[in-house]
C-alpha cells in the first residue's frame, strides 16, 4: 500500500493564490520596516523572462481549465496592458544581461551574457554551486541568437510574428501555433529583448489563437503536446513564473547589470 501517495491525494494541491502572496508580502514589508537603500546594490532594470531555456520534460499532461474565458476579452486586455507597460520601460544599459530564477522551488539558476559574446551559467543546488562557461546562451526556435540580433528584431507585432514564423523550418503545421507562442514568450523574459520588441511580443501573443487565458494573469498554450503556463504581472510587464510538465520557474531578476559574475 502506498500510504504516502494516498495522503498526497487526500490533501490535494491547493491553487497558488497570487492575492494572498501580495497581501503577505505587503504585511512583511510593513512589519519589517522599509528596506534601507544600498548604494552597492546593482540597479536591475526589471524586464523579463523565457521559456526557450526551459528544459522540456517530455510528459504531456492535461489539466481541466475551469476559468478559461471563451470570449478572449480578458486575454486581450491583460496582454495589451502588459504590452503598454513593456513599451514604457526605459532603455536599459549594462555590460551583462542577467537572469536569476528558482527552479521547482529550490534550485537557483543564474545567467550572465556579455555583449562580447561571453556567457556563464551558475547553478545552486543544495549546498553546491557550479559555474559553467556557456556558448550560445540564447536560441530562438533552435537558432542561436546574439544580443545584437535579438535587439534588431522587429518592434511591430505582425512583423515579429512573421519573423518568428519564418524561422520554424520543418515544424509540422499543427505544432506551429504553440511553437510561435513559445518563441514569443521567450522574448519576454529570458532574452535581452528591448522594450519595443517586448511590447510587440505581448501584442502578437494577444492575437495568437493558441494562447488561452486561464484567469489570474495566467496564460496557457501547448507546445508539441506539452502544456505550458506563464504568469505575468501586467502592471510591470514582468513574467513572474513559467511552468511546464513538472517544472516551475520563478523569475527573480531579468535585466542588465554591470556587475560581473564572480569567477574563480
Partner 1 sequence: MTVIAVREPDLARPEGFREIFDAYFEEIFRYVAQRLGPDDAEDVVAETFLTAFRKRDRYDPERAGVRSWLYGIATNLIGKHRRAEVRALRARGRMAADRDVSGLADVVAMRVSAQSLGPSLAGAIARLGKGDRDVLLLVALAGLSHEEIATALGIPYGTVGSRLNRARKKLRKALGGTNPMEGDHG
Binding site for partner 1 (CB under 8 A): 1, 3-4, 6-14, 16-17, 20-21, 23-25, 27-28, 31-32, 35-36, 38, 41, 102, 105-106, 108, 122, 124, 126-132, 250, 252, 262-264
> Dihedrals φ, ψ of 103, to 5°?
-100, 125
**Residue 176 in 3-state DSSP?**
helix
Say if CB 108 and CB 92 are below 8 A apart: no
Measured from the CB of residue 27, what is the shortest distance to partner 1 in angstroms? Answer: 5
Of 81, 54, 47, 16, residue with least CA distance to 214? 16
99 closest CA partner among 244, 239, 245:
239
Minimal distance in Å, beta carbon 171 to partner 1? 33
Report which DSSP code applies to 49: B
Complex with partner 1: residue 218 or 222, whichever CB lies closer: 218
Distance CA 13, CA 8 (A): 8
Nearer to partner 1, 207 or 258 (CB): 258
Nearer to partner 1 by Cβ, of 39 and 128: the residue is: 128
Residue whose CB is less far from partner 1, 197 or 251: 251
State in angstroms the smallest separation of the CB of 8 from partner 1.
Answer: 6
Contact criterion met (CB below 8 Å) for 108 and 123: yes
CB of 58 to partner 1, least distance (A): 23
Nearest approach in angstroms of CB 162 to partner 1 is: 36
* Nearer Cβ to partner 1 (38/39): 38
249 with 54: CB under 8 angstroms? yes
Amino acid at each position: 500500500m502506498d500510504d504516502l501517495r494516498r495522503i498526497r491525494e487526500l490533501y490535494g494541491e491547493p491553487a497558488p493564490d497570487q492575492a494572498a502572496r501580495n497581501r503577505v508580502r505587503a504585511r512583511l514589508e510593513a512589519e519589517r520596516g522599509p528596506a534601507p537603500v544600498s548604494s552597492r546594490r546593482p540597479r536591475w532594470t526589471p524586464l523579463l523572462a523565457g521559456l526557450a531555456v526551459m528544459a522540456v520534460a517530455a510528459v504531456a499532461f492535461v489539466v481541466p481549465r475551469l476559468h478559461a474565458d471563451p470570449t478572449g476579452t480578458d486575454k486581450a486586455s491583460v496582454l495589451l496592458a502588459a504590452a503598454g507597460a513593456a513599451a514604457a520601460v526605459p532603455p536599459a544599459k549594462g555590460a551583462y544581461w542577467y537572469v536569476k530564477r528558482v527552479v521547482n522551488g529550490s534550485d537557483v539558476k543564474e545567467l550572465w551574457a556579455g555583449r562580447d559574446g561571453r556567457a556563464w551559467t551558475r547553478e545552486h543546488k543544495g549546498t553546491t554551486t557550479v559555474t559553467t562557461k556557456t556558448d550560445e546562451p540564447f536560441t530562438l526556435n533552435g537558432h542561436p541568437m546574439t544580443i545584437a540580433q535579438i535587439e534588431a528584431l522587429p518592434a511591430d507585432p505582425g512583423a515579429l510574428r512573421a519573423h518568428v514564423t519564418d524561422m520554424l523550418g520543418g515544424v509540422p503545421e499543427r505544432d506551429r501555433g504553440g511553437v510561435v507562442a513559445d518563441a514569443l514568450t521567450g522574448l519576454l523574459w529570458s532574452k535581452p529583448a528591448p522594450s519595443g520588441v517586448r511590447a510587440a511580443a505581448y501584442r502578437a501573443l494577444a492575437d495568437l489563437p493558441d494562447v488561452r487565458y486561464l484567469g489570474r494573469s495566467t496564460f496557457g498554450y501547448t507546445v508539441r503536446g506539452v502544456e505550458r503556463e506563464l504568469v505575468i504581472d501586467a502592471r510591470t510587464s514582468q513574467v513572474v513564473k513559467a511552468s511546464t510538465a513538472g517544472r516551475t520557474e520563478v523569475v527573480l531578476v531579468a535585466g542588465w547589470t554591470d556587475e560581473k559574475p564572480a569567477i574563480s
